[in-house]
Every structure is written in structure tokens, then in C-alpha cells.
Structure 1
Amino acid sequence: MSSEVFVSRPHYDSRAVALGVPVKVPPVEPEVPQASVGSATAGYRSAKYTPAEWFSSYRTLLQQAGADGHEARSIQRESKTLYQDAEAATMRSQAEGTRLLGERLQDTHSWRSELQRHVEQLLADTESLLALKTRLERALDATETPCAIAGDNLNSRARRRGPDLVLDSVEEELLKEVDLIRSVQALLKKTAAQVATQIKMNREAKQTLESDWSDKYQAYNLDDHCGRYSNMSPDTQHHPSSATMQDQVCSRTLWTKFTQDNLSRALQEEQATNSLRMLVERVLLDVTEDLRVQCSSVDRAFDQRCVELTEAKTQLEMALAKVLEQIGAQERMIMALQRAIHNKEAPLRVAQSRLYLRSLRPNMELCRDEPQLSLEGELRQIDATLASLHRQLSEARGSMSRLEESRMALEKDINCKTHSLFIERDMCLTRRKRYPTISTLSGY
């Protein structure tokens, strides 16, 4: 036998070395002399294992190999189960994500369609309001003609003469028409301002909806692209920081509320537009009707005034004809009275001459005999007759003067009535024929 001494070796784990785990070296114990086997080994230490150690060593290795194999098979089963479960979970998560992306695409498409519908509705409402605003502006421009006509009528009637310059029903109706036109103009301006404000509100709401629609359009395209990704897609990349970025965005509730608020505001503007459109239509209808009714009232007052003036002028002309006839008769009467007075001159001279000559009788012959009394009576009669004739002539001349005054007054009044008729009928009513039509006053 060899003289070498068998020394036990430390246990060395090769798996730990393969896995990179630092091996803990056990402390070295002091060598204990082993009993020698046989006389050949007396006094020597052998470096070989004993059979028991040999059996123990390979049996330990077998046990360790068996344990390691069992552990490996267990780990393999667990690993297989783990990666199968992980694969299934990953596929389920990916499928769930794809499904949720599809639902998200449907929600986004639904909201986007609703936004598009309200955008188109707001666009149509804005176009209708622009048309109404144009009508209001045209209707406001159309009121300038009635205002000018009414003002011209008032100025023309201010040139009436004498007693015809009266505050009559025509004047009152014209003043009412002027006040009505001013009220209508103020109402149309106010309504046009309301329409302009509503147009601005509609455009702001439409711009908000379009911005939201544009965001959803981009989000839809991105989500659609995301939904088309698969494990075989060549354009996928690692983005480790993408998950942390998602923490900064809004929640689904806020996302839904944002669009609902935009749609609610758009709906409010649509309802306000419908109400305003009905109001504008009603305002245009009412102001047109009021202006036409007042115009008819003014025209009726003008017609009635023209009838009154024509009737008054006719009566004045008839009275003038009678006055002229009376003036002619009175002139003839004055001439007759003058001839009668002139015819009394000769009898008066005869009577006075006779009395004068008889007053020259001498002495007792100067008596009041019958001829004397007769002559005196004749003279008194002629004097009384002349006095009556002169008094009648004075009255006739006074009447003649009054008739002339009446003639001049009648002629003057007839001229006034003629002038007033010219103003009322030929000037005012002729100009009122240019009054705007109902369609023009309605803004068409």
C-alpha cells in the first residue's frame, strides 16, 4: 500500500458556481491521525477514501442528483405553468385591451358624430341668422322711405294758408306715423344687435365643438392604429416611460363631462337661435303690419280731409255765386235809388221856386192860403222822400260794401281751399303712393 494519507475533501457546489453565487468555504479543521490499516501503513496517513466513504460519496451524489432532478422537474413544471399562465394572461390582457380600444373607438365615433351633427346644426342656424340679420337691415333701410314721406307730408302741410292751417286728424295721424316709425327703427336696431350677438355665440360654440371634434378625430385615428397593433407588428417599440405619462391625463368621467358640457352649450345656443328666429319673424311681421295699418289710417284721414275740403270749396263757390248775384242786384238797386233821388230834383226846385215867388207877395196878400199849405206839404213830402231815398241809398251802399267784403273773403277762402287741396291731394297723396310694399318692409 502507498504511504499516502487519505484526507477528506470539502463539498463543492458546481451549481452555485454556474449561477455566480459565491461559495462559502467551510473552515478547515485540524487533521486527526487516522488509524493505519495493516502493517504496511503503520506510521503513515493515507490520502485515499475508505470504501465506506466511497459508497457514502457516490450515494450522496446520487441522492443529490435525485434531489436536484426532482427540484429541476418541479421548477420546470412551475416554469411551464408560469409561462403558460403568463402567456394566457398576456393574451387575455391584450385581447381585453383590444376590446376596450374597440369600445373606445365606438364611443369616440359616437361622440364625434354627435359633435358633427351639432356643428352642422350651428352652421345652419348661423346661416339662417345671417339671412335674418340681412332682412332686418333691409327692413331698417326700408323704413327710411316712410319716414321721409311722413316728414315731407308734415312740411308740405305746414305751408297751408290761413284757417286751413289746422291741427286736424291728418296731422295727428302723421305724427303718430312718425313716432311709430321711430319706435320701429329702434326695435329693428335692437333686434339686429341681438341677432349679431347670437351669431357670435353660435360661432364660439361651433369653434369649441370643432376643436373637440378635431381632438376626437386624432384620438380616433391613434386608437384605431393602436387597435391594429399585434405581436407580429413590425413597427412596435419599447416605450418604458409611456405608462408614467398616462398618470397626468384626465379621467373618463371628466372626458365625458367635457364633451357633454360642449354639447349642452351648443344645444342651448341652438334653442336660443330658434327662439330668436321666431322672435325676429314675429317682429318683422308686427312692424310691417303696424306700419301698413298706420299708413292706411293716414291715407283714410287724407281722403276724408280731401272730401271735406272739396265739399267746403263747393259750398264756398256756391256762396260766392250768390254773393256775386247779390252784388249785381245791389248795384242795380243803388243805380235805381240814385235815379230816384235825381228825379226828385226837378219837383223840389219847382216847389221851392213856387214858395219863394209866393213869399214875395205884398202886404196882406202874403197869407197862408190853400196853395201855400199845399206847396208846403208838397215840399215836406219831397224832403221826406229824399231823406228816405238817401237813407236807403246809404244802406244799400253799406250792404254793397259788406257784399264786396264777403266776396273777397269767399274768394280768399276758396283760394286757400284750392291750395290746401293741391297740398293734400296732388302733393301728399301722390308722394304716399311711393310707400314701401309689405315685402319690402319685411326685408325681402
Structure 2
Amino acid sequence: MVKEVKNNNIVSYNREQLDIGEFTIVKDGKLITPNDLNAGDLVFYNDHRNVNFGVVSTNTKKGKIERVYTDGFKVDGKTYDIVSGAKYLDGNELGNLDTNILDQMKEEGKEVNLYFDFAKNVLLVLGSRGDRVLTSEYALVTRDTKHFSNRGEDTYTLDVLNSKGDMIEYDVPKDKDGNIAKLLEEDWNNIIKKDNLIKISVDKNNNVKEVKKLESTNIEKNINLNDIYAEGYKLHPDTLVFIAQDKDSTEPYKVVSWKDAHNEFNKIKTGVIYTNEMYRVVGIVAKEVDVNEKTIEYTGLVREIYEYIGGYKKDIEIEIDGEKLIFAGKSSLLENIRKWEFVTLVVGDKDNEILEIKQPKSQTIIVDSIQTTRRTIEDTDGNVYELIKKGIIYDENFNQISLRDINQQSKLKIYFDDSNTSRFIRYATIVYNN
């Protein structure tokens, strides 16, 4: 369905675009150009094996909906089936055609336009639902539903985080048939659970009229920012991403669109994708993301360890080349780290969070001689080590000292500048003095 044509691209109401610059297009038996297309034209096309052929449908009919059946409807005395894939267009809203939509158009009482395919099936109904139009959006359930009685009426809570990042609380009553927002009570209780993504439709008074369950798939493979598909489903710039936040955050999730996701992370590692019937990803609940493009390694002396309230995270104060820096990490990762030990912290380049702990290459030696001008230490086995320019020596109490303060026969633990060298030292500490 043509909404507009831009630079030989058909822009449709479902946000899809089709490049027709190389297409042969026919309307009313005549060849036309892309610029001859009008808003509201329905185009059937074939781009298989570079056929690139399109036909504008001219088989349409106007009339009023007289009756709606369980699987069809009647317009001006003729009955039509609701076929698989049939759509409706109301203003700018394009969606799947069903009996609820048709019933709303019937109640509005205005004429509708029927568009037919070549098998004379109704493929699209263009019409208005007037004030009965529901506003629909995707939202994340933030709390399991609870039942309560509101003036004797069975009512259920629905707490969600919407696409704008707003926390909203709804009270949804049972209807006369015992359903809640068109769901059976059992289905409602199974769907309205914390961290599930749903589709909500509300009326102009902000009353919830319908809740739909979405198909979901666990993320098995990292989703990178340059990916087009996730678990076989197509990503779209408007795909919503609900990013789980740290426990100390005031909000459990942050909401962004896929086109803005580059400001928040580099890839999604774990979570759930939610899809529609057109195999598009409408939302992602991202449980774990990687915000970093690369990692940086810092090697130094652990000076202090600070534990967060709740115990789920720690800050590590580490002295690196004489400068004290602080990095945060999960307590589970840092449970074996101790004060006054030398470690290598692998840290993300954007969030500065500790991702891994490594033990720097080290060994213990007995000093035989020191050459301060050359910054070298020879051990009793005849091996020579060289303190790099920014290298630091510590005494037993981890105070900085110079090479000349080291005595012969001192026991040193030395830490190499890199795992690939056995000569150059970055740190050394006296184990004890003779």
C-alpha cells in the first residue's frame, strides 16, 4: 500500500520500503513510472530472480459493512471471507484484519474501500473506526498481576513500562463474559508476568481494552549493532529495546529504539526477542549487554576493596604506576581478590567495569647484586632483570622505595611488564629483608 514515493522508493504504511527504480510497473494495462503512483495505490510485485515486475490493483469496491460473521463479513449484500494475510488501513494504522476491526468499522457506519487480489479475495479493507480507535503500543510488564475487588468488581493490576520509558499502572476489570482485556483469566495470569513484553490497546479514556501475547524467542547468539536479523527475525530501526539496568538504578529497564541503541551498548548477549506475524522483531528484552567495543588491561597493586550495599558489586582501588584508580565489578567475579596483591584487571573501554581478573606473570628471586644506573637486578642464579622506566619497587609494607634500598640477599617477588618477557620488570616487592 503506497503511502508516498521518495527517490523511486515506495514507502508503505507498515514502514517497509521497496526500491522500484528498476521495476516494470503496469496500471490499467499501461506502463507507468514510479512518479505516477499515488497514495492509496495497492501494488502487487515480484522481485524473484530479478524479475522486478509490479501491477497496481484497480479491482476495488466501495460500500458499507452490513454484517460481521465469525470468519467473514457482508458488504452491500455480498459476503466475503477473512483470508489469511488480509489487512486493514485506518488513517495511518495498518494492521491485521479481524472481526473486531470489522465490527468497529460497521459501528462507525461509514463506507469502506475493499481491495481485491487476482483471486478476488479481499486483501485490504480501508475504513474508519472513528472514536472507537484504540491506541496500541508495546509495553514491558514490570510486576506480576494481582487480583483485587474494586467495589465488588473483579479487577486485575497491570503495571508496565511503555515505549516512552514511563511507568504506568492500570486496573483492568473482568468483562461480562469473565475475560480480562479479551484474555481468559488463566491466560491473563500466565501472560501478565514480570519481564514479559505485551501489546496493549487502550481507548481514548486510557482504559485497557485488549492485551495480546507476543511470540518470543530466547537469544542464543549475540546480537551486534550491525546485524539485520536476530534469531532469524528481521530487526527494524523502530524495534524497541528494554535494557536491564544495575540493581542500584532507580529504574529496572531503560528503553531505546534499535536505531539509537549504539548510544547504549555494543551488543546484546542474553535476553528475549518478541516478534509479530510478519517475522519482524518488535521488541527485545536485553538482560545482558556489552557496552564496550574493546577491553583495556590494567596491572597494579590492590589498595582497597569497597563492597556495595546489598553485596552484589564491589569497587576496587588499584595503584597503577603510582596512580590510584577505582574500577567496579560484580562481587561474584571479585570474590577471590585480596588487598595487597598484584592483579591485572580487564576493563571495558566505555563503562570501565571489570570483566575479568588475571594474575600477572611473576616469580620470586634472591638478590645477588644491583646496578642502579642500568636499573638491573641480578639474582643468585645469574639471571638479570631490568626495571622499566616507570617500574616501582615496594617494601614489605607496600611503601615505594628505590633500587638502592634493596639489600643483597633480599627476597623479591617480581612482576613482569608482559607475559612475553622474562627480563623486564614492572613491579617488585620485598618479601622480607635479611
Higher helix share: 1
Shorter-chain-normalised TM-score: which range? under 0.3
Higher strand share: 2
Superposition TM-score, scaled by structure 1 size: 0.16
Larger radius of gyration: 1
Superposition TM-score, scaled by structure 2 size: 0.16
> Which structure's relative contact order is higher, taking Cα pairs within 8 Å and 6+ residues apart?
1
